[in-house]
Chains A and B, each alone.
Chain A
Amino acid sequence: MTEPTATPGAPGDPQHAAETRRVNPVAAHPITSLVIFVLVAAAILGTLIVPIYDSETPKLGDFPFFYWYQLVYMPAVAVVLWIAMLLQRRLRRPADTQIAGSDGGPVPGGAR
């Protein structure tokens, strides 16, 4: 175990203090964070709220709405999550190298 064993996370711990001093990435990028939140929430709510798609019409080809809606929603969720992931990468880039340093290994933060 690489972490200190004596009262880790306690307010007096110097490492803890160093961590909390770092800029919160959400506060640093409020708009990007909001976009990510909306994207992920929409991905969940779009199928959770059943009345949205609970009908036979409009049909797409021979498929009733209830069925094709769910089929179309899947690739849409995939795309949305991919975008959210790319946005998150932008969000955390500045902090990345610091985190890696504290974990004892150099990370090519944001190099990819």
Chain B
Amino acid sequence: MSHVNTVVFTIVVVLFVFVTCIGFAAARWRRADDMLHLNEWGLGGRGFGTFIGWFLLGGDLYTAYTFIAVPALVFASGAIGFFAVSYTIMVFPIAFIFLPRLWSVCRVHNYVTPADFIRGRYGSRGLSLAAAFTGILSLMPYIALQLVGIQAVLTVMGVATGSSNTYVKDTPLFVAFIVLAVYTYVSGLRAPAAISFVKDTLIYLFVIVAVFYIPTRLGGWDHIFGAAQTHLAAINPETKKPNGAFIPTTKSTGSTELDFATLALGSALALFIYPHTITGALATKRRDVVKRNMALLPAYSVLLACIALFGYMAVADKTTAAEVKKAGNTQLAVPYLLQHMFPSWFTGIAFSAIIIGALVPAAIMAIAAANLFTRNIFKEYFKPDASPRLETRTSQWASLVIKFGALAFAVWLPHTFAINLQLLGGVWILQVFPMLVAGLYTRWFHRWALVLGWAAGMIYGTIAAYNVHSPTSSHWANSSDIVFGHTVYIGFTAFIINLVLSVVLTPVFKALKAPAGTDETLPHQYTADPVEAPAPEPAGVGLTATSD
């Protein structure tokens, strides 16, 4: 604890205690008669309107990925990092198309997870299991990314102790994480929903101040872009290549237009397939709330673009750039930049914003993964007659276990580029896209073809992601691979393989007269807009329609 700034440290601790209190108090917020129901613990009562929904989804979608990983990539590689900006633009029109349909069918049938829907649509336990497994797996690195973000801030604050033992060094991180785990256990989705108000306020405050103030300290935008362009064009002595690109290139490999576009499209297709974003969407009370939020959430993307530009500011500020280089960790770019540019009290606010900004989505992700485990693995395979009370208890415990699983990811996977943790999750979750989104429109696809397509995509994606390594980086450390001589996002290639296989195999299975499974949904349910949340079944009675 050598260079801890007392003011910064105090503000961070005070704000952390403040949100912890909110987290516990949230259990009483909009209290329902029977809190021990998954619709309550796992979906906050399914009653959030446009206003709370906007805060919740904003708090859910914009994570340490936004605050730490994207600017780190921009800092190191330049324009390619802006794929995240393009992605957060594209994602809303894409979700606008299919998300209301998913909301409606889940509302009518009381589905809590995306795998519940797949189960009902295809009458297939196996397909549902595949979706649940993929959802949980892909959330692990995503939660780990939140930890890496918190870790970056704590490192710059100087509270990570000098010990070389990981477990001693990261004690503050573990403490923060355990506190988060406990109030998530108690309050369920209400905790992150309530805290997201604090998070969003702090984030808006610090980003708006930073984006207007920092350029005045660095000689204006002209100087910032100029310094970035010079730095990116310079030759890196290790790789003998330029550091990065200021504008995506038209070459076939490197920071290319194609890589940029596939990263953006792949991420955009993946975002609203992630269980935690679906959890956020299903917690809203009306179909129009979902649509309205697709039009309102781009306000947050503007923030993401500003934060991405922090990467260039960190390049332009010589002290920051030197310190990041010395530490050998690009994730520290934003925390160091803030520390140098602002007085201690404001640095404290900004650091708190980033830490809380990572805790909120981590909580929602753990809840979403826990719901998947409970509904689609535990209830489906181990305890078909589980009561809503038992379901909720199981989810609560699962949320704890999942958090510690993510901790393992955070400790083991390389941190050279935290953004790859999210992109790796994307490689996996994208494989659920065909069964989920196509399923919202058509039953044409055969469930066995979808399973095989999914398996092929998963296997290819995992192997390709593992094999990408160079002398300067380790396994899993990159998310783009060269296919037919062009750099492409691995998740996108795997998705295409999955889709092609599903399309080709469907007629084969139909010709073989393989059983198609029972579809429990009806066409009009995809556009339905029931006012009342589905009535919770009385305790002790399971969902009759989900058992054969």
Contacts and interface: CB of A to CB of B under 8 A. Distances in A.
A48 B79 contact: no
Nearest to B535: A2
A15 B521 CA distance: 12
Contacts of B545: 1, 3, 5
Given A47-B264, A70-B82, A74-B298, A81 B531 contact: no
Interface in A74-96: 74-75, 77-82, 84-85, 88-89, 92, 96
**Chain B, interface residues (CB within 8 Å), range:** 35 or more
A82 B92 CA distance: 11
B482 to A, nearest CB: 18
A43 B94 CA distance: 9
A22 B222 CA distance: 59
Contacts of B525: 3
A3 B89 contact: no
Given A44-B93, A54-B247, A107 B305 contact: no
Nearest to B291: A85
A18 B296 CA distance: 36
A80 B291 CA distance: 12
Interface centre among B96, B292, B518 (most CB of A within 10 A): B96
Interface in B63-114: 79, 82, 85-86, 88-90, 92-94, 96-97, 108-110
A103 B108 contact: yes
B413 interface: no
A9 B79 contact: no
Contacts of A48: 86, 90, 261, 264-265
A66 B79 contact: yes
B299 A78 contact: yes
B437 to A, nearest CB: 14
A84 B295 CA distance: 9
Given A54-B247, A99-B529, A105-B532, A47 B222 contact: no
A3 B523 CA distance: 12
A56 B82 contact: no
Contacts of A67: 82, 225, 309
B294 interface: yes
Given A8-B521, A51-B257, A66 B247 contact: yes
Contact of B524 (A64, A99, A104): A99
A107 B524 CA distance: 15
| Interface residue SS majority, chain B | helix
| Interface residue SS majority, chain A | helix
B221 A74 contact: no
A54 B298 contact: no
A71 interface: yes
B523 A77 contact: no
Contacts of B250: 51, 54
Nearest to A61: B221
A80 B224 CA distance: 32
B375 to A, nearest CB: 15
A49 to B, nearest CB: 8
Contact of A64 (B225, B260, B299): B225
Interface of B: 79, 82, 85-86, 88-90, 92-94, 96-97, 108-110, 220-222, 224-225, 246-248, 250, 257-258, 260-261, 264-265, 288, 291-292, 294-296, 298-299, 301-302, 305, 309, 518-525, 527-532, 543-545
22 contacts: A3-B522, A19-B522, A44-B90, A46-B89, A47-B89, A48-B86, A48-B265, A50-B248, A51-B257, A63-B221, A64-B246, A66-B79, A67-B309, A71-B302, A77-B92, A81-B93, A81-B291, A81-B295, A82-B292, A85-B288, A85-B291, A112-B288
8 closest A-B pairs (Cβ-Cβ)?
A: A62-B221, A43-B93, A1-B545, A81-B295, A62-B222, A78-B298, A82-B295, A50-B257
Interface of A: 1-3, 5, 7-9, 15-16, 19-20, 22, 40, 43-44, 46-51, 54-56, 61-64, 66-67, 70-71, 73-75, 77-82, 84-85, 88-89, 92, 96, 99-100, 102-105, 107, 112
Given A2-B108, A3-B545, A48-B265, 10 more contacts: A8-B519, A15-B522, A47-B86, A51-B257, A55-B247, A74-B298, A77-B93, A82-B292, A85-B292, A107-B530
